[in-house]
């Protein structure tokens, strides 16, 4: 077992899984790609766009002073407006789908205990039963509505927006909306007289937008420390720019996954031993599968399947297969050392957390005893800083992975194909309930 350690972050892995020297030339190429990305080159070639989500947490990286000033100005404005809405409202409807919904959902699930009086209700689908369950009995006079769509034309989000506007109107209430979208979209223009509107830039994809207004609006509403979150992302970015494979946690993770992938293990199982990170694997599912699930530059189809829930729950469900079934995966366990929320467990020898640690360590030993690929990430606690660091780590892993295999990780042609097909059905005039 080899341990990478820096600033409280630990990564434990099998040093025999890959030979760093074997990948040294590839790593230089991957580093150059990531440097050119951060410097503003148009690496999203299919959509002819820059990729700038790293600038959101470190505006000094932005390729020009205009972008840098815009990021800082938006951040200052967001802090002021969220401070006001935090004071004025107890509830928030958050209408967004995909990357515009998963990040906020993860934030609220992870940090809702910090402000138990605040409720964020994420409306990330158009299932009428789901909308009814989530919106009924919510006091509209005490609820703000955040409408989030990069294009400003996302069908599902627009439908939810209209439903919410109708709901407020039914009670003769003004619509207390804030919009998060690109400038000059239909949503941006509609929100001209709303309570606020914040930018999503063209160079920020939905699945990497959590460090912008998409995530920060929820951070601000819950009274969380936005600056610490951004600082955690910057901290991990610095670690993962290191040009020494063995001293770069993202390159270690990426090459472990690459090595496993080349040996036919095309699944990634991520199991956080924390209820607060239960949504984290869903978040990574989109990050990996929407970024990497596509054709390579040479035309070959590619993809990484991501799954997982939480420990110790998963030990009583699919760990049986991980240890004794088909060996087609890499397992990443995530451990936090110090719980933030305390309970009275003094009557239990060592407390609940001692048992949680024992099951994590025991599961790791059991999995590794069958020569299965298993890595462990350890952070001191789940606060804003380490939350930001975790997300930044996996963003860089995806970037390295894509650079190695020759994939544009920043477009999503398959998603667009589904939208076009749905539009055809809607415009057909058919009774869709009769189509089988």
Residue 432 domain-assigned (yes or no): no
Between 343 and 272, the higher pLDDT residue: 272
Q: What is the pLDDT of residues 185-238, one digit of tens each?
A: 999 999 999 999 999 999 999 999 999 999 999 999 999 999 999 999 999 999
Same domain membership, residue 183 and residue 97:
yes
234 & 220 share domain: no
Asked if residue 128 and residue 99 are part of one domain, the reply reads yes
Looking at 190, 206, 224, the residue that finishes a domain is: 224
- 419 given a catalytic annotation: yes
pLDDT digits (tens, 9 = 90+) for 279-330: 999 999 999 999 999 988 788 899 999 999 999 999 999 999 999 999 999 9
Active site residue 338: no
**Is the pLDDT reported for residue 431 higher than 90?**
no
Last residue within a domain, chosen from 206, 224, 242? 224
Q: Do residues 259 and 200 both lie within one domain? A: no
Same domain for 273 and 350, yes or no, is yes
The Cα–Cα gap between 215 and 111 comes to 12
Domain shared by 16 and 158, yes or no: no
Give how far Cα 156 sits from Cα of 55, 100, 305, Å.
Answer: 29, 12, 25
DSSP state of 44: B
Q: Give me the pLDDT at residue 342, please.
A: 84
User: For residue 281, how many other CB atoms are within 10 A of its CB?
Assistant: 22
Is the residue at 316 inside a domain?
yes
The verdict on residue 392 lying in a domain is yes
- Across the strands, what pairs with 332? 270, 375
Residue 196 and residue 275 in one domain: no
Q: Which among 218, 216, 185 is positioned nearest to 201, based on CA atoms?
A: 185
Q: Pick the catalytic residue: 25, 48, 316, 434?
A: 316
- Domain span including residue 369: 2-48+227-414
From the list 113, 166, 419, 423, the catalytic residue is 419
Instruction: Answer whether residue 421 is part of any domain.
Output: no
Q: What is the CATH number for 188?
A: 3.40.50.10490
Do residues 365 and 300 both lie within one domain? yes
Active-site annotation holder among 190, 290, 384, 395: 290
Q: Are residues 136 and 158 in the same domain?
A: yes
In a domain, 427, yes or no: no
Domain boundary among 177, 209, 224: 224
Overall domain count for the chain: 2
- Whether residue 323 is found in the same domain as residue 338: yes
Does residue 300 form part of some domain? yes
- Do 59 and 43 share a structural domain? no
Q: How far is CA 170 from the centre of its chain?
A: 35
Question: Does a structural domain hold residue 419?
Answer: no
From residue 348, how far is each of 198, 311, 315 by CA, in Å? 49, 19, 22
Q: What is the pLDDT of residue 16?
A: 54
Predicted structure pTM score: 0.95
Domain assignment present for 436: no
Phi, psi of 409 (to 5 degrees): -80, 5
How much is the average pLDDT of 163-189? Answer: 97
pLDDT value of position 17: 59
**Do 244 and 272 have their domain in common?**
yes
């Amino acid at each position: 077992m080899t341990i990478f350690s820096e600033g409280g972050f630990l990564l434990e892995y099998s040093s025999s899984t890959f030979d760093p020297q074997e990948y040294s030339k590839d790593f230089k190429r991957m580093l150059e790609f990531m440097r050119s990305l951060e410097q503003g080159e148009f690496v999203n070639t299919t959509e002819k766009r820059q990729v700038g989500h790293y600038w959101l947490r470190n505006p000094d990286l932005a390729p020009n002073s205009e972008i840098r000033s815009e990021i800082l100005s938006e951040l200052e404005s967001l802090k002021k407006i969220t401070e006001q809405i935090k004071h004025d409202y107890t509830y928030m409807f958050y209408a967004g789908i995909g990357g515009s919904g998963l990040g906020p959902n993860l934030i609220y699930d992870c940090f809702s205990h910090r402000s138990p009086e605040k409720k964020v209700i994420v409306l990330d689908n158009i299932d009428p039963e789901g909308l009814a369950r989530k919106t009924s009995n919510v006091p509209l006079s005490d609820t703000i509505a955040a409408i989030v769509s990069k294009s400003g034309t996302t069908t599902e989000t627009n439908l939810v927006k209209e439903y919410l506007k109708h709901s407020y109107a039914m009670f003769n209430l003004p619509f207390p909306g804030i919009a998060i979208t690109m400038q000059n979209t239909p949503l941006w223009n509609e929100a001209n007289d709303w309570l606020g509107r914040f930018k999503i830039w063209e160079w920020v994809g939905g699945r990497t937008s959590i460090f912008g207004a998409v995530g920060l609006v929820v951070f601000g509403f819950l009274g969380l420390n936005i600056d610490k979150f951004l600082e955690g992302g910057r901290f991990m970015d610095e670690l993962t720019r290191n040009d020494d494979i063995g001293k770069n946690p993202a390159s270690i993770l990426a090459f472990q996954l690459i090595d496993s992938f080349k040996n036919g293990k095309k699944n990634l199982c991520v199991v956080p031993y924390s209820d607060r990170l239960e949504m984290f694997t869903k978040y990574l599912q989109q990050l990996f599968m929407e970024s990497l699930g596509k054709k390579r530059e040479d035309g070959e189809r590619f993809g990484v399947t991501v799954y997982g829930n939480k420990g110790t729950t998963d030990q009583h469900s699919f760990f049986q297969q991980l240890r004794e079934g088909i060996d087609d995966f890499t397992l990443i366990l995530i451990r936090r050392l110090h719980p933030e929320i305390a309970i009275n467990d003094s009557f239990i020898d060592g407390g609940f957390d001692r048992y949680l640690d024992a099951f994590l360590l025991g599961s790791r030993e059991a999995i590794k005893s069958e020569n299965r690929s298993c890595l462990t990430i350890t952070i001191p606690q789940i606060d804003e800083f380490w939350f930001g660091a975790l997300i930044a780590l996996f963003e860089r892993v995806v970037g390295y992975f894509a650079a190695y295999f020759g994939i544009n990780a920043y477009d999503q042609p398959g998603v667009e194909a589904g939208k076009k097909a749905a539009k055809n059905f809607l415009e057909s005039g058919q009774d869709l309930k009769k189509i089988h």
